[in-house]
Chain A
Amino acid sequence: MIELVSPSRCIDCNKCVEVCPTNVFDEVPGGHPVIARQQDCQTCFMCEAHCPTDALFVAPLADPAPEGSPYRNEDVLEAAGRLGEYREWIGWGKGRRPGSLRDRNGELTELARPHLPQRFQ
Chain B
Amino acid sequence: MSRRRITALGPVGPAGSSAAAAEPDTLDADVLVLGGGPAGTWAALAAAGTGARVVLADKGFVGTSGAAAAGGNNLWYVPDEGDQRERAVLAREERGAHLTDRAWLRRLVAETWDRVGDLEAWGYPYPTDPAGRLRRSSLQGPEYMRLMRRQVLRAGVTVLDQSPAQGLVQDADGVVVGATGVQRQRGNAPWTVRAGAVVLATGGCAFLSGALGCNPDTGDGHLMAAELGAELSGMEFSSVYGMAPGFGAQTKGRMYQFATYYDGDRNPIDAAGFSGREVVARTLASGSPVYARLDLAPPELHDALRWSQPNFFLPYDKAGIDVFTDLFEVRLVLEGTVRGTGGLAVVGDGCETTVPGLYAAGDVATRELITGAVSGGGSHNGAWAISSGTWAGAAAASFARRRGAAARPTTGRGEATAGTGAPSSGAGRRGTTAPREVIRDVQAEVIPLERNLFRTEHGLRGSLARLDALWTDAVPDLDASTEPVKAREAAAMVAHARWMYRAALARPESRVIHRRDDHPDLDERLTHRIRVGGLDEVWTRPEVPVREEERAS
Chain A: residues with CB nearer than 8 A to chain B?
Answer: 14, 17-23, 27, 40, 42-46, 49-50, 59-62, 71, 82, 85-86, 89-90, 92, 97-108, 111-112, 115-117, 119-120
Contacts and interface: CB of A to CB of B under 8 A. Distances in A.
Given A21-B69, A60-B247, A100-B126, A112 B301 contact: yes
B212 A44 contact: yes
B24 interface: no
B60 A20 contact: yes
B213 A60 contact: no
Contact of B257 (A23, A86, A89, A112): A112
B202 to A, nearest CB: 13
Contacts of A107: 129, 135
B311 interface: yes
17 contacts: A18-B14, A18-B162, A21-B66, A21-B69, A21-B213, A23-B162, A27-B16, A40-B215, A59-B318, A60-B314, A71-B318, A100-B139, A105-B137, A106-B138, A107-B135, A116-B296, A119-B276
B213 A115 contact: no
Interface string B134-164: 0111111011000000000000000001100
A27 B20 CA distance: 16
B342 interface: no
A18 B16 contact: yes
B317 interface: yes
Given A18-B61, A106-B138, A111 B125 contact: no
B65 A21 contact: yes
A18 B15 contact: yes
B301 A44 contact: no
B309 A105 contact: yes
Nearest to A86: B314
A60 B69 CA distance: 18
Contacts of A19: 61, 63-64
B44 to A, nearest CB: 17
A58 to B, nearest CB: 8
B307 A44 contact: no
Interface in B159-179: 161-162
B539 interface: no
B263 to A, nearest CB: 19
Contacts of B296: 115-117
Interface string B294-312: 0011100100110111110
Interface of B: 14-16, 59-61, 63-66, 69-70, 72, 74, 124-127, 129, 135-140, 142-143, 161-162, 184-185, 210, 212-216, 245, 247-250, 254, 257-258, 272-274, 276, 296-298, 301, 304-305, 307-311, 314-319
A105 B69 contact: no
Contact of B142 (A46, A102, A106): A46
A97 B128 CA distance: 14
A106 B134 CA distance: 11
Contacts of A71: 318
B62 to A, nearest CB: 10
A85 B317 contact: yes
Contacts of A21: 59-61, 64-66, 69-70, 213, 215-216
Contact of A60 (B250, B273, B307): B250
A49 B146 CA distance: 11
A111 B308 CA distance: 11
Contacts of A59: 318
Contacts of A17: 15-16, 185
A44 B301 CA distance: 26
Contacts of A45: 70, 311, 314
Contact of A50 (B64, B216, B307, B316): B64
Contacts of A104: 127, 304-305, 307-308
B409 to A, nearest CB: 35
Contacts of B248: 43, 60-62
A120 B257 contact: yes
From A14, A18, A103, A115, name the one whose CB has the most chain B CB atoms within 10 angstroms: A103
Contact of B215 (A22, A49, A85, A106): A22
Contacts of B210: 42-43, 62
Nearest to B250: A43
A17 B212 CA distance: 19
Nearest to B273: A119
Contacts of B213: 21, 42, 44, 46
A102 B129 CA distance: 10
Nearest to B164: A23
B142 A92 contact: yes
A13 to B, nearest CB: 9
B222 to A, nearest CB: 19
B257 A116 contact: yes
B143 A20 contact: no
Given A21-B61, A60-B316, A90-B140, A115 B297 contact: yes
Contact of B74 (A18, A106, A120): A106
Pick the most buried of A14, A44, A71: most chain B CB atoms within 10 A of its CB: A44
Contacts of A89: 310-311, 314
A103 B138 contact: yes
A79 to B, nearest CB: 13
B310 A99 contact: yes
Nearest to B65: A21
B435 to A, nearest CB: 12
Contacts of B297: 112, 115
B125 A100 contact: yes
6 nearest CB pairs, A to B: A21-B60, A60-B315, A89-B310, A105-B138, A44-B70, A42-B215
A43 B304 CA distance: 24
Contacts of A18: 14-16, 61, 161-162
Contact of A85 (B127, B272, B314): B314
Given A44-B70, A59-B318, A60-B318, A23 B184 contact: yes
B57 to A, nearest CB: 14
Contacts of B135: 103, 106-107
Given A60-B318, A90-B143, A102 B60 contact: no
